[in-house]
Amino acid sequence: MSAPHPVIEYWFDFGSNYSYLSTLRIEQAAQLAGVSVRWRPFLLGPVFRELGWSTSPFVLQKEKGEYTWQDMARQCRKYGLPWRRPSRFPRPAVLPTLVALAGSGTHWVGGFCRLMMHLNFAEDRDIDSAGTVAEVLTAMDLPVASLLEDAQSADNRARLREQTVLARARGIFGAPTFFVGKEMFWGNDRLDDALAACREPASFSP
């Protein structure tokens, strides 16, 4: 029997600008590294509130926010990604998060996440409406009605609350965050380091 692929856990929020960069490149980068991606969508809002912030630090700190938008333009040029500064930030994204959570582990979850991120950060569109999510699911030739029903079920909403509690329990304070075993890597610029760690499993506890 061949050894299983190493796994990288990818914790992200659809309203997170740096998660946009990682979401659009993680699957291809992981495939090249021989690593499987475990998608972990969660909501940053409750995490920020627990930390005493009413919203993103990029909004609360003017200088940090101004730098971030300049940096995003640079990073998108670096990776060859389209970019449009969102007119609303951070943009609510409960529904796409519920859909991604319900679909985590499926073959389509990565493609869904990329399309939703593209709408937010390349087209400046509202991504928290049923119409927009249905548009994406339809474009992917997925069963819209059943997926929306499953995503918005009481059980899946409870899973999302549990996912966010787990994020805090594991020490997550921002997105994107990656785990290789128990080792945490924070920020889009640490994705490559996290993938490299996956090739050294003896160095990291499961």
Q: What is the pLDDT along the chain (206 residues), one digit of tens a residue?
A: 455 679 999 999 999 999 999 999 999 999 999 999 999 999 999 998 888 887 887 878 889 889 999 999 999 999 999 999 999 999 999 999 999 999 999 999 999 999 999 999 999 999 999 999 999 999 999 999 999 999 999 999 999 999 999 999 999 999 999 999 999 999 999 999 999 999 875 544 44
The tokens for 178 are: 């990656």
Sequence-distant (6+) residues with CB within 8 A of 75 are 21, 81, 188
pLDDT of residue 2: 52
In this predicted model, what pLDDT tens digit does every residue of 101-133 receive, in sequence order? 999 999 999 999 999 999 999 999 999 999 999
Q: E strand or H helix at 183, and its extent?
A: strand 183-186
Domain ranges of the chain: 7-203
Q: What is the pLDDT of residue 1?
A: 47
162, 43 in Cβ contact below 8 A?
no
pLDDT of residue 113: 98
Query: For residue 179, what are its two tokens?
Result: 């785990």
Determine contact, residues 184/170, Cβ cutoff 8 Å.
Answer: yes
CATH architecture of 7-203: 3-Layer(aba) Sandwich (3.40)
Quote the pTM value: 0.93
| 44-54 residue pLDDT tens | 999 988 888 87
The Cα-based distances of 4 to 62, 107, 164 in angstroms read 46, 18, 28
Q: Quote the pLDDT of residue 52.
A: 86
